[in-house]
Structures are given as structure tokens and as C-alpha cells.
């Protein structure tokens, strides 16, 4: 579509209109999407874009799309928002006026078992106490909310920021009070103009309520929050690159250690967490974590072992070949099948599942039936029969701890591929995404992502015969292992996953691609 539009624009307007393909706009639920001068056009076709461009040129108004379309129905409906749509900052008020203590808050987070919602899934209470204990060299600590949601297939933060920005802001204020920071930023990707505006307005409202600023609710505590629109691309969402960008440097990840909890923004202890992690804090603190701890689906065959440790609810963005893609708040630990069938109303056009990306493209493509040799056998032993050779992907529980035990990646963005999909083309497209978004700092990612994509493209172009495939296979596998072991940040570590997992789980499709020759 990009090429067609590009040719059309060149023909019509010469150099005045530029059409470019971009990596991600964060609207996978309404694909394909486009932006014309920062205005969103979702579920588009070529015709609609042409009309919008013409309208823009002729100063004519044309209806564009809004993220409110998807966020509005959820406003005040999710459990993540204890205020039913409009924040009152009661938890902050209680904390500063009724003698709340950091220990109490941290204990509540521990009881609730809140995990980081950005993907890595670290325990939130640990991070909070780490930053709280860390010494600052200039008596200054910071709180930063990572709203640079750019992983393909992930768009839950987009709707949280519109439907319940007060929960994020209240979570950040509480974080500041607990760790000893009085400055914070919400770092939002620049493709989210409505969210940027909404956060700014909510910050202003919170200030007017007295929940933000100097002397929160007439106490001695202070907190200043600002929105920081991201200047760059996907890499800016990597936690250390984000901090570099905030320091006005080229957004490149840092070598670790040190961790941001001790040496973050301006070398000071920094609590950097995902939008949703902050957003759950008010709901958790309302009753010291009891309600959140009681949530969670613990009865499935594969979750029984972990039992009580599966806690809470979380939001998933789901897109692809399902009937109703979107953002859903569900109990942790429900199966993928349940998410698809009950929440998304099943598969589109009655297709069967061909593959699922459970963590955007970063976890690679999983097949509908996963051979158990690719999973962690030790983790499986207790929950399945010895005669089972494959696990149905629909039975996989959507819980990060289970995923670690069983050995698959689980993020916040799930993409479901129906049986009409060309999986090789999808894997190559995902691989291109990482190649395009690599920052270029370290060699394994800069060159590895390119070389692995080149090999995928050759396979896709039927330029590889069966003989060459057998020599290519170990090269891709070793390159993938080296990229995982030596890249500086997560991008390089996952960049090989789309193709590596394709070859691992769909060898017959790779062989089919060779036969086309």
C-alpha cells in the first residue's frame, strides 16, 4: 500500500507530499493505520488516505479517527480504576494526611504480588524498596513512567492513558512519596498525541485538586509531574535508552550494571516502570492489597502447581485474526483459549490458529500445538501426562510466572495468526521491524538483525534451495544464540526470535518455501 500511495502522491503533488512506511503506530487493533500530519486514520484503505490527503491539501475538514473510540467504552469499567472514571486521589490523600508509611505501601505491594507490566515482570515491591534504599548523590530521586509502548501488537497503555490517566498519576505520586522522589515524568511515544494531551490535562486537574505540586493536600510532601513526549523510535522504550533520551543524548541503551534503581536519570536513583504497573497501585492500596491478591485463575491444569502465587488481574492487547481485537482486563492465569473465545468472541471467519505471538514479535511465533521438547520439561512433568507430546497453545495460562516455569515468553501484546496467514512472510516482517528499529550501537544487533533478515528475505523470495537450507539453519541458530548472549539490550537479544522460532516450530513451511524454487 505504501508503494502505491507513494507513487500516487508523487504523481499528484511532486515533492509536496511524502509517503513513508513506518514501523509501528500502536493501532494493531485497527490495522492498517496511517497518520497524516499527526492525525490518526485507522482501518484505512488506499482510497481513504487519498481522500484525507486531498482534504488536507484543499483545507477541507475530513473525519479522522480517535483512540477515544476504543478507550471510551472501558472508561470507569475496569477494576484498575477504583474511581469509576474520574480520579479523586483518595489514596494519596489518605497517605499524606493519615500517616501512611513507605513500609506499609511496600508491604501491600508485596502482598498483592504486583509484577512489572512492561514485560520483564520483576516484582514491583522490590524495585520500590531498591530505589527507596538507594542513596542519591544530590539528594534527588526520580520517578519515570514508561509510556513509550512500541512493541508491535501492544497497545494497552494507549487506552489506560485515555480511560484512566489518574490511576497512573496517582501511582506515580505514591511511588514518589515512598521512594523519596519529588519529580517525575510520563514518557509518552509521540504517536500518541491524544494521550499526551490527556495526561497533561489530568496533571493540571490533579494540581488543582491539590494532589500534585508543592504541599500535597496541605502536607509537607511535594511532587512535580510532567509529560515528556518521546523524541524517537522503538529503542526509546528500552529503559536505559529512554533515560539517555531524557538526558538529551542519542537514545542508545547503556551497558549494565549499574541499574537505573541506583544510577538512573542524571545518575540518580530512578524508579522507572510501565504505565500499567503504576496504574494498578491505587486499586491495590485501597485495601492494602487484599483484593488484588485474591484475584487470579489458579485452577487450570498448568497453574495448579503455582497456586497462590498467581495473583491479580492484568490488561492484554490482542489483535490479529480474532473477531474483536482490543484491550481486555482479565484475571491473571486465564488461558489463551479463554481470552480468544470469551473476550474476543472467537477467531475471525472461523479460521484455525496457525501461530500466536505471545509477546509481540519479541517472543517469536508459537505454533498451535507446541512440541513439548521445546518447552521446559521439568516444569511440565507435574501437570501433564507422560503420553502427551504436544501442548495446545489455547491451554497456555497467561501468567508470567507460569511462562517462566514452562519456558515461553509472555508479554502484554498478543497477536493471533489464522491459518490463511503466510507465516514466513509474517516472521520476515517481524524480523524487519527489529532490523529497522535497532539503534546501531552494538555490533551483534546492528549487523546480526540485518543478516538474519536478509536470510529470511531470501527464503521468502524462494531464493534458497533445500540444500542451502540445511547449511543456513545452523548459521541462523548460532547467530541467534550469539545475538542473545552478546547484545547490549533486549532489542538485540530478541531480534532473531521471529525467524529463529519460525525455523524451529515450522520447519515444514521453511521446506515448502524451498520447494517453490
Contact string (CB under 8 A) for other proteins, positions 367-396, x = contact:
------xx-x--------------------
Query: Which is closer to other proteins, CB of 96 or CB of 268?
Result: 268
Cβ distance 317 to 359 under 8 Å?
A: no
| CA-based nearest residue to 358, from 101, 124, 152 | 152
Give the strand pairing for 183-188 and 224-229: parallel
Query: Which is closer to other proteins, CB of 148 or CB of 191?
Result: 148
| CA-based nearest residue to 127, from 226, 314, 267, 264 | 264
- b/e map 318-329, b = 16+ CB within 10 Å: bbbbbeebbbbb
Region 226-245 residues binding other proteins, contact defined as CB under 8 A: 233-235, 237-238
Query: Which is closer to other proteins, CB of 100 or CB of 146?
Result: 146
Cβ distance 187 to 146 under 8 Å?
A: yes
Instruction: Kindly tell me which residue out of 439, 459, 460, 513 binds other proteins, with binding defined by CB under 8 A.
Output: 439
Within 151-234, where are the H helices?
156-163, 165-179, 193-209
Number of residues that bind other proteins (CB under 8 A): 93
Cβ distance 252 to 234 under 8 Å?
A: no
Query: Which is closer to other proteins, CB of 194 or CB of 267?
Result: 267
Q: How far is the CB of 71 from other proteins (least distance, A)?
A: 18
Instruction: Kindly tell me which residue out of 435, 456, 459, 460 binds other proteins, with binding defined by CB under 8 A.
Output: 435
Instruction: Kindly tell me which residue out of 154, 303, 319, 430 binds other proteins, with binding defined by CB under 8 A.
Output: 154
Instruction: Kindly tell me which residue out of 274, 319, 332, 335 binds other proteins, with binding defined by CB under 8 A.
Output: 274
Instruction: Kindly tell me which residue out of 26, 87, 100, 119 binds other proteins, with binding defined by CB under 8 A.
Output: 119
| CA-based nearest residue to 181, from 221, 151, 145, 216 | 221
Q: How far is the CB of 256 from other proteins (least distance, A)?
A: 4
Q: How far is the CB of 243 from other proteins (least distance, A)?
A: 13
Cβ distance 95 to 216 under 8 Å?
A: no
How far apart CA 18 and CA 14 sit, in angstroms, is 9
Cα three-residue angle 325-365-390, rounded to 5 degrees:
105
Instruction: Give me the DSSP letters along 427-477.
Output: HHHHHHHHHHH--S-SHHHHHHHHHHHHHHHHHHTT---HHHHHHHHHHHH
DSSP 3-state assignment of 371? strand
Instruction: Kindly tell me which residue out of 262, 288, 309, 351 binds other proteins, with binding defined by CB under 8 A.
Output: 262
* Interface with other proteins, residue 250, by CB under 8 A: yes
Instruction: Kindly tell me which residue out of 67, 81, 149, 244 binds other proteins, with binding defined by CB under 8 A.
Output: 149
* Interface with other proteins, residue 515, by CB under 8 A: no
Instruction: Give me the DSSP letters along 26-49.
Output: S-GGG-S-EEETTEEE-S--HHHH
Instruction: Kindly tell me which residue out of 70, 270, 303, 449 binds other proteins, with binding defined by CB under 8 A.
Output: 449
Stretch that binds other proteins, among 128-136, 168-176, 218-226, 306-314 (CB under 8 A): 128-136
Helix, strand, coil percentages for the chain (3-state, nearest 5): 50, 15, 40
How far apart CA 242 and CA 168 sit, in angstroms, is 18
* Interface with other proteins, residue 14, by CB under 8 A: no
Query: Which is closer to other proteins, CB of 44 or CB of 195?
Result: 195
- b/e map 406-434, b = 16+ CB within 10 Å: bebbbbbbbbbbbeebebbebbbbbbbbb
Cβ distance 239 to 274 under 8 Å?
A: no
Query: Which is closer to other proteins, CB of 89 or CB of 316?
Result: 316
Region 172-191 residues binding other proteins, contact defined as CB under 8 A: none
Region 73-112 residues binding other proteins, contact defined as CB under 8 A: none
Query: Which is closer to other proteins, CB of 223 or CB of 488?
Result: 488
Stretch that binds other proteins, among 2-10, 85-93, 332-340, 445-453 (CB under 8 A): 445-453
* Interface with other proteins, residue 203, by CB under 8 A: no
Region 451-470 residues binding other proteins, contact defined as CB under 8 A: 451, 454, 469-470
* Interface with other proteins, residue 473, by CB under 8 A: yes
Region 475-514 residues binding other proteins, contact defined as CB under 8 A: 475, 477-482, 484-488, 490-491, 493-494, 497, 500, 503-504, 507-508, 510-511
Instruction: Kindly tell me which residue out of 32, 48, 436, 463 binds other proteins, with binding defined by CB under 8 A.
Output: 436
Instruction: Kindly tell me which residue out of 70, 167, 362, 431 binds other proteins, with binding defined by CB under 8 A.
Output: 362
DSSP 3-state assignment of 75? coil
Amino acid at each position: 500500500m505504501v508503494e502505491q500511495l507513494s507513487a500516487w502522491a508523487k504523481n499528484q503533488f511532486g515533492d509536496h507530499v511524502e509517503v513513508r512506511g513506518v514501523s509501528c503506530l500502536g493501532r494493531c487493533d485497527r490495522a492498517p493505520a496511517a497518520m497524516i500530519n499527526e492525525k490518526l486514520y485507522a482501518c484505512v484503505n488506499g482510497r481513504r488516505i487519498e481522500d484525507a490527503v486531498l482534504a488536507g491539501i484543499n483545507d477541507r475538514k475530513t473525519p479522522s479517527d480517535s483512540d477515544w473510540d476504543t478507550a471510551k467504552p472501558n472508561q470507569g469499567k475496569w477494576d484498575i480504576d477504583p474511581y469509576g472514571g474520574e480520579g479523586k486521589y483518595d489514596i494519596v490523600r489518605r497517605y499524606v494526611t493519615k500517616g501512611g508509611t513507605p513500609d506499609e505501601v511496600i508491604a501491600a505491594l508485596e502482598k498483592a504480588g504486583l509484577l512489572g507490566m512492561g514485560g520483564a515482570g520483576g516484582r514491583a515491591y522490590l524495585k520500590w524498596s531498591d530505589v527507596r534504599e538507594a542513596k542519591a548523590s544530590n539528594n534527588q530521586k526520580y520517578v519515570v513512567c514508561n509510556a513509550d509502548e512500541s512493541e508491535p501488537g501492544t497497545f494497552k497503555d494507549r487506552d489506560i492513558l485515555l480511560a484512566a490517566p489518574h490511576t497512573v498519576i496517582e501511582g506515580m505520586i505514591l511511588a514518589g512519596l515512598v521512594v523519596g522522589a519529588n519529580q517525575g515524568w510520563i514518557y509518552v511515544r509521540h504517536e500518541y498525541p491524544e494521550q499526551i494531551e490527556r495526561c497533561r490535562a489530568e496533571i493540571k486537574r490533579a494540581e488543582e485538586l491539590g494532589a500534585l505540586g508543592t504541599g500535597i493536600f496541605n502536607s509537607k510532601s511535594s511532587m512535580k509531574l510532567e509529560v515528556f513526549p518521546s523524541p524517537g523510535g522503538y529503542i526509546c522504550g528500552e529503559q536505559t535508552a529512554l533515560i539517555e533520551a531524557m538526558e538529551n543524548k542519542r537514545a542508545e541503551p547503556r551497558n549494565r550494571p549499574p541499574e537505573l534503581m541506583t544510577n538512573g536519570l542524571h545518575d540518580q536513583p530512578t524508579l522507572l516502570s510501565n504505565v500499567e504497573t503504576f496504574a494498578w497501585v491505587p486499586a491495590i492500596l485501597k485495601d492494602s492489597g487484599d483484593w488484588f491478591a485474591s484475584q487470579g485463575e489458579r485452577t487450570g491444569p498448568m497453574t495448579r502447581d503455582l497456586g497462590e502465587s498467581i495473583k491479580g488481574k492484568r490488561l492484554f492487547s490482542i489483535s490479529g485474526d480474532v473477531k474483536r481485537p482490543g484491550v481486555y482486563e482479565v484475571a491473571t492465569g486465564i488461558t489463551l483459549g479463554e481470552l480468544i473465545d470469551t473476550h474476543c468472541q472467537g477467531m475471525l471467519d472461523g479460521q484455525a490458529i496457525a501461530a500466536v505471538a505471545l509477546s509481540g514479535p519479541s517472543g517469536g511465533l508459537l505454533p498451535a500445538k507446541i512440541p513439548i521438547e521445546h518447552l521446559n520439561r521439568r516444569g511440565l512433568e507435574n501437570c501433564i501426562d507422560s503420553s502427551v507430546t504436544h501442548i495446545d497453545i489455547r491451554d497456555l495460562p497467561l501468567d508470567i510466572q507460569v511462562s517462566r516455569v514452562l519456558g515461553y515468553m509472555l508479554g502484554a501484546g498478543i497477536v493471533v495468526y489464522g491459518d490463511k496467514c503466510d507465516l514466513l512472510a509474517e516472521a520476515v516482517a517481524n524480523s524487519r521491524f527489529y532490523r529497522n528499529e535497532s539503534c546501531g550501537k552494538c555490533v551483534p544487533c546492528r549487523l546480526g538483525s540485518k543478516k538474519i533478515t536478509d536470510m529470511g528475505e531470501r527464503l521468502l523470495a524462494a531464493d534458497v534451495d533445500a540444500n542451502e537450507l540445511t547449511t543456513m539453519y545452523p548459521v541462523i541458530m548460532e547467530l541467534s544464540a550469539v545475538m542473545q548472549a552478546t547484545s547490549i539490550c533486549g532489542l538485540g537479544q530478541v531480534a532473531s526470535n521471529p525467524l529463529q522460532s519460525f525455523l524451529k516450530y515450522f520447519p515444514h513451511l521453511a521446506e515448502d518455501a524451498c520447494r517453490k524454487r
